[in-house]
Amino acid sequence: MLSAISIRNIVLIDQLDLMLDRGMTALTGETGAGKSILLDSLSLALGGRGDASLVRKGCPQGQVVATLHLPSDHHVRDLMRENEIEDDEEIMLRRVQYADGRTRGFVNDQPVSAKFMRQLGEQLIEIHGQHDDRALVDPSTHRTLLDSFGDCQSALSKVSAAFKALGVAQDALNRQEAKLAKAQEDEDFARHVIAELGALNTEVGEEETLAATRQRLMSLEKAADEVRDADQVLNGPNAASSGLAGLMRQLMRKGEAEGGLFAPLVESLDATLIALDRSSEALEEIKRQMDFDPLELERTEERLFALRAAARKHQISCDELPALLNKYEQAIAELEQGGDDLTALRAALDAARVNYQTAARGLSEKRAMAGKKLMQAVEAELPDLKLGQARFIVDHQIDDSRESGNGFDVIEFHVQTNPGTHPGPMMKVASGGELSRFLLALKVVLADKGSAPVLIFDEIDTGVGGAVADAIGKRLARLSSKVQVLSVTHAPQVAARAATHLLIEKQVIAEGSLTRTHVAELDDKSRREEVARMLAGSTITDEARAAAHRLIDEVSA
């Protein structure tokens, strides 16, 4: 419920602190006293459009604070927590309007955007008048109201879940189709790469091994000349060993004749020949180590250069070539398997669509039954509101090709004001007075389903007679047993049924230099006098007072 309104420096209101109670509250007063200012101020606190002209003349800023009490499980509290707004026992909406046109909004003293404030306000308080253009125009609101009236939430949840699953299935199919289309575009190239890299048949680390082998073979090739020169010196035709061996044999023969004269030289030559033999053996070992196929270096280089060329072509390293081959082999495998996967995904999508259509048809049937009951319930209220010849119509269009989280249905509330006329949307067909009465009948029927906890009716009784005004008062009183009702009214029949009566009046102070709006709660005596004024006009007669007493006593009985 709306428990308090505090206003500072808004138009004619310099300072106002208004406490409100449950049930029905009537707000009355002379025309121009400031009732519209009070509602404009409240709209500002609910996130309505700001305007510099709202600030009281000579003040830098104005402010409106609306304080509400809600049950701990009210969905508005969930919305606050989702937006990290502190959830206190009281919910306080505060809006500051600056004289330069700027506004600032706060919820529980935490700054919020005007958009969030409006989103919150729309779920807390509804303001309706003769020219209301929100709930009765928006078809999505009508569908929501019908679902609340017909307890369709469970069926709606099934449709929403089925629609979500349908979207998931469609996305999976779309991704697979796009993947296959791309794979088909790249198929020729992929097969070429597979043939090329398959023939190459490389392994991770092969480049490093080939490079090392090439380096070794190149080193051996460079050493071949030195080995040939050494072999020529040690083993060639002019090798020193042959001459030294012959010299040693000659000296050995002469040494026996000369009594061992050449023995030391023979020993030295023998040692030299032994050393030359060891050098030849070492050279032979080197030659054995260098014994390789002359084509091996060529083959090694061809393989190494082929790997590196393939790597450059694909702009990767040689070690990444096996992974690239695997990638394209997998792409071809997926392409070949893709047809089967596509068939399975299409079957899954078809099943999801059947499931969605079944759920949506069930919701449509439930809405159709709810629509009939809602039409009957609203039309039952119309005769007392002097709309006995009018009809209320739930226009229910079903388009089973339409897929949405809300089902197949397009719901819009239509009316027919007189027999023989064409029914149509309320805003187009009903006059201002008729529209407000249709709205009231609808709100009475939907009072405990899908309604904001606070309903404000702004002069919906304007231009109606006593019997209609009395019917309006009865229905507002009925509404107030389920939600808090505030009614700005000129009808004594409406004011008489209120649990609380507030008088809005204009006061001239400071010797006529300042005008302000004042709001006062009336006691029983003052209330009877105000109802008498509403009955009689500017001059209150004893007859008017007697009529006011009778009216209040009758509705209170």
Q: From first to last of its 557 residues, what are the pLDDT tens digits of the chain?
A: 999 999 999 988 888 899 999 999 999 988 777 788 888 899 999 998 999 999 998 899 999 999 999 888 888 888 888 888 888 889 999 999 999 999 999 999 999 999 999 999 988 998 876 555 455 556 778 998 899 899 999 999 999 999 999 999 999 999 988 887 777 777 777 778 888 888 888 889 988 999 988 887 787 777 666 777 776 777 777 777 777 777 777 777 776 656 567 778 778 877 888 888 888 788 777 777 666 666 888 888 898 998 999 899 889 999 999 998 898 888 777 776 767 788 889 999 999 999 999 999 999 999 999 999 999 999 999 998 888 899 999 999 999 888 999 999 999 999 998 888 889 888 788 777 788 788 888 888 887 676 788 988 888 877 777 788 888 899 899 889 889 999 999 899 999 999 999 999 888 775 555 778 888 999 999 999 999 999 887 788 899 999 999 999 988 76
What's the token pair of residue 164?
A: 């979500």
Radius of gyration for the chain, computed over Cα atoms and rounded to the nearest angstrom: 50
- Alpha-carbon span 131 to 440, nearest angstrom: 13
Nearest to 202 by CA among 324, 332, 298, 331: 324
Are the C-beta atoms of residues 548 and 532 closer than 8 Å to each other?
Answer: yes
φ, ψ of residue 329 to 5 degrees: the values are -65, -40
pLDDT at 133: 47
Nearest to 451 by CA among 414, 480, 488, 474: 480
The DSSP secondary-structure symbol of 33 reads S
What's the token pair of residue 278?
A: 């060891």
pLDDT at 233: 74
**Total Cβ atoms within 10 A of residue 149:** 22
What's the token pair of residue 165?
A: 């699953």
pLDDT at 260: 67
pLDDT at 46: 92
The DSSP secondary-structure symbol of 330 reads H
The amino acid at 401? S
What's the token pair of residue 300?
A: 């090694």
Strands 514-521 vs 500-509: parallel, antiparallel or unpaired? antiparallel
- Alpha-carbon span 352 to 365, nearest angstrom: 20
What's the token pair of residue 403?
A: 């897929």
- Alpha-carbon span 488 to 27, nearest angstrom: 5
Label each residue of 406-474 as H, E or C.
Answer: CCCEEEEEEEECCCCCCCEEHHHHCCHHHHHHHHHHHHHHCCCCCCCCEEEEECCCCCCCHHHHHHHHH
**Total Cβ atoms within 10 A of residue 531:** 25
DSSP H or E segment with residue 488: strand 484-488
Helices 187-200 and 153-185: angle between axes, nearest 10 degrees: 60
- Alpha-carbon span 307 to 318, nearest angstrom: 6
The amino acid at 491? A
**HSE-up (13 A, CA, CB side) for residue 497:** 24
List of residues 6+ apart from 218 with CB closer than 8 A: 297
Prediction pTM value: 0.64
- Alpha-carbon span 6 to 465, nearest angstrom: 35
165-176 as b/e: b if 16+ CB within 10 A: bbeebbebbeeb
